[in-house]
Amino acid sequence: MNFFNLSSPNKFQKFSKRIYPWVSYGSVMFLFIGLFFSFFKSPPDYLQGESVRIMYIHVPAAWLSLQIYVVMAICSFVSLVYKHSLADIISRSCAPIGATYTFITLITGSIWGKPTWGTWWVWDARLTSELILFFIYIGHMIVSNSYEDYRKGDKNAAILTLVGIVNLPIIKWSVDWWNTLHQPASIMKLDSPSIDSEMLTPLFFMAISFFLIFLSIMLTRISTEIIVRKIEIIKSNF
Amino acid sequence: MENFLTFLNSDKYITYVCSSYLICFFGLLFLKISSHIKEKKAIKEYTDIKKKYES
C-alpha cells in the first residue's frame, strides 16, 4: 500500500472507514485491560497511597495533550508551505480532541494535587504552561471557525499553532528549568524509568487505549470535515 | 483483588480517584458521541444536497 495515496481526502476517507472498527474495538479492549491493571494489580504508592491511581489517566492524557499538538503543528506547517487540504482538515479535527485531553490533564491533576500537595491549584510553571496550552487549543478552534471562508480560518489557525509550539518545550522541561511543586519526569527519561513495573504496566495499557481513542475520534472528525467541505463545494458550484 | 479491596476501604482517597476517572471518561465519551452525531448530520445533509442538485 502506498501511503502517499492517503494524502487524497477521498482515499483517506476510504482507508479510515476500513481501520475505524479495529481502532475503536482496540481502544475499548486496551481500556479494560488498563483499568484491570490500574485497580486490581497496581499496589498503592508508599507515599501517595491510593491517590496514585489517578496517575494512570493523568499521565497518558498529558502525553496526548502534547502529542496531538505536535501533529497539529506538523499539519499546520504542511498546510502553510504546501497548501495541502488534508493537513488543514487533520489540524482542525485534532484541536477539540487536544483541548479535551488537556482539560482532562488539568482537572485530574488538580484532583490529584489536593490529597498530595494539599491544594487544588498552584501557579507553578508546569501547571501554568499546560493551562496556556489549553487556551491555545481553544484559540485554534475559535480562529478556525471565525471566518465564512474556511481557508482563511485554516490559514490563521495554522499560524497560531506554529507560534504556540514555543510552549511545548516549556511544558516538557519546566520541571527541570524551574523549582516547581510538580514532580520531575519519572517515565520519559533518558535512563530507565524510576517507577515500578507494577505501576508501569497499567500506565502502558492506558496510554495505548487513550491513543486509540484519540485516533478513533480523529478519524470520525476528519470524515465529517471532508463531507462538510464537499457540501461547501457543491453549494458554491450551483 | 487485595489491592482493589484496599482501595475500596481507603475512605480518604476513593472520592478523588473515582471523580477523576468519571470526569475523564465522561469527557471522552461526550466527545466521541458528539463527533458521531456531527458525522451523521453531515452525511444526511450531503445526501440531501446531492439529491437536490442532481434533480
pLDDT in tens, A63-98: 999 999 999 999 999 999 988 888 999 999 999 999
- H helices within B1-55, ranges in order? 2-8, 11-54
Q: Which DSSP letter does residue B55 get?
A: -
| CB-based contact B42:A83 (threshold 8 Å) | no
- Res. A35: pLDDT tops 60: yes
Identify the three-state secondary structure at position A120. coil
- Res. B7: pLDDT tops 90: no
Task: Supply the pTM of this predicted model.
Answer: 0.92
pLDDT band per the 50, 70, 90 thresholds, residue A187: low
pLDDT band per the 50, 70, 90 thresholds, residue A5: low
Identify the three-state secondary structure at position A45. strand
> Which one has a higher pLDDT value, A234 or A217?
A217
Confidence at residue A6, expressed as pLDDT on a 0 to 100 scale: 61
- Res. A12: pLDDT tops 60: yes
**Which residues in B lie closer than 8 A to residue A49 (C-beta atoms)?**
10, 12-13
Residue B15 distance to chain A (closest CA, Å) = 10
Residue B51 distance to chain A (closest CA, Å) = 11
- Res. A192: pLDDT tops 70: no
